[in-house]
Amino acid sequence: YVDMGSTRRARVHKRVAEALEALCGTNPGTRVGELARHWTAAIQPIDLDKAIAYSRQAGDAALQSLAPHDALRYYTQALELARRADQPDQVLGIDLAIGLGVAQRQTGDPAFRETLLGAAHQAAGIGETKRLVAAAMANDRGFSVLGTVDADKVEILEVALGRLPEDHPDRALVLAKLCQDLTYGSPLERRQALAEEAIAIANASGDDATIVRVLNHISYPLLVPPLLDQSLSISAEAMARAEHLGDPVLRFWAASQRHTAAACSGNMDEVDHCLELLGELAAQLNQPTLNWRHTAMRATRAQLAGDTARAEELATEAFQIANGGGEPDAAALFGTQIMSVNLQRGTLVELVPLIEQVAAEHPGVTSFMAALAMAHVEGGQIDAACGLLQKFFASGLDMPVDATWTMGMHCYAEAAMECRDLTCAAPLLDQLRPWADHLSYSGVSTAGPVVHVLGGLASVLGRFDEAEAYFAQSSALSARIGAKFFAARTDLSWGRMLVERRGPGDLDRARDLLAKAHGAAKAHGYGVVERRAADALQQVDR
């Protein structure tokens, strides 16, 4: 073969390609890759169309076979061949670009965004609405970039909506995708309206795949406390329908959304079931974004368990996957997870410069400023924390109602507890009280039971009986879900409240709770809890 001249070699490739066609007929099946290779090597002007067609078919087959690296090679080859045509086929070029963009996304190449935006604009320019929708929907890693709105993607989705009939099933998909891309920086009411219209059209279509895709897209944008029951229902339906379909990608995203909603409700059995399923599907699909998502979720689960070493290990592994894949928010999400680890270790104050930087880079995530306030109080910088609390109070407790709302309010509440800020404590208590049975859990990080800060805020306000009821509820919830750090933190706050109240038997009970908190903190390395518990124990006998 090596000794053949290029002309003879091309003729031999053509003979092999023709022989394969004679054997395979119109359905080459698994041999389509061989046909693509031989027709490409046999290339002459008369054979160009066949080489392109088989390369495209090979790319399509590779995607179907969960082999995106092979697909990437075939689509790249097809596009290079298509450029040689005297009169390039625009529609074919768009189709090949969409295939290339999907393969890039699945292999972790961040160029997928620009590839698919380009394909969408080309489709829009020649009135190819079907391909416009296909390109817009393919430009999706499964969730929006933290704290930002991708204006270019939103614009394309809105163009697509303007060209689709009101009852077209594709309209449901575009509406749901737009809802997802507006997770941050948009009013909840707009996301709800988009979701409701998408669900209605999808249900009317009767197509399970469309319904699951819609439900998967709208779940996280609507994951806010007032809609938690709806999120649980949506994610359960998506899981059931995806299981019936058997599509591993749809099953992965359904389980991902179900995991986070279940965690917010405190259902750890369901969380662990979802994580196990996600692990199996991520291993089967082996796509960088899915591996990142699963690993980051495991890190958050370790945070909740109070296992700081495991949480840090998994967060670092997740960051390495995301950074290698060029994920635009890899550093911000890693920073968020490391903040939670340092909070539990009692070293959060060391990250103040990092938190300030992340907050400045992501102004759409106002919970970062709340985390900064908590970092200041954890490090004893009370004046700095009080200043941030007062700015928050002056804004009218303005916190965007998105999936980070509970985390942000929780962090401000923790700061108000340590600052003894009566001004902020009352409105924070009022806003968080309806969600006493929820966990602060964003999927990336967790701040534990909401009811814990309700107890702390009630203590600041001198409503000790109310505080005790909240602390008892927080203690029981932390024990049930195996949250060691949050159990110790609740024992600490409860004991300190009893020392302050000093009712009959309070000091003895306080001593027991504080000793328990101190022992757990010392055993697991919860630095601030250990120090505060030791200080509080000294006050018991004063």
448 DSSP β-pair partners: 440
In this predicted structure, what is the pLDDT of residue 6? Answer: 75
CA trace torsion 241, 244, 250, 254 (10° rounding) = 50
Collect all residues with Cβ–Cβ distance below 8 Å to 441 and sequence separation of at least 6: 260, 263, 264, 300, 304, 406, 407, 447
Determine contact, residues 66/284, Cβ cutoff 8 Å. yes
Q: Which of 22-26, 165-169, 371-375 has the lowest mean pLDDT?
A: 22-26
Count of Cβ atoms closer than 10 Å to residue 444 Cβ: 25
Tell me which long-range contacts 369-374 makes (C-beta under 8 A, separation of at least 24): 369/408, 370/399, 370/407, 370/408, 370/409, 370/410, 370/411, 370/412, 370/415, 371/336, 371/339, 371/408, 371/411, 373/411, 373/412, 373/415, 374/343, 374/348, 374/411, 374/412, 374/414, 374/415
pLDDT per position as a tens digit, 56-89? 988 999 999 889 999 999 999 999 989 888 788 9
| Residue 45, pLDDT above cutoff 60 | no
Residue 124: both structure tokens together:
């829009």
pLDDT score recorded for residue 3: 82
pLDDT at 5 over 80: no
CA dihedral for 21, 23, 29, 34, sign (positive or negative)? negative
Joined tokens for residue 397: 């407790």
Mean pLDDT of 5-11: 78
Task: Give the Cα separation of 151 and 500 in Å (integer).
Answer: 52
What pTM value is reported for the model?
A: 0.89
Mean pLDDT over residues 175-197, rounded?
Answer: 96
The 3-class SS string of 328-343 reads CCHHHHHHHHHHHHHH
Is the per-residue pLDDT at 421 higher than 60? Answer: yes
472-483 tens-digit pLDDT? 999 999 999 999
Which of 140-144, 190-194, 504-508 bottoms out in mean pLDDT, i.e. has the lowest? Answer: 140-144
Is 80 exceeded by the pLDDT of residue 331?
yes
**If you count DSSP H runs as helices and E runs as strands, how many of each does the chain have, helices first?**
27, 2
**What pLDDT is stored for residue 13 in this prediction?**
79
Share of the chain above pLDDT 70, in %: 99
Average pLDDT for residues 440-447, to the nearest whole number?
Answer: 93
pLDDT for the residue 43 = 63
Handedness of CA 500, 503, 507, 513 (dihedral sign): negative
Mean pLDDT, range 20-44, rounded to an integer: 75
Q: What is the DSSP letter of 168?
A: -
Q: Has residue 232 got a pLDDT over 80?
A: yes
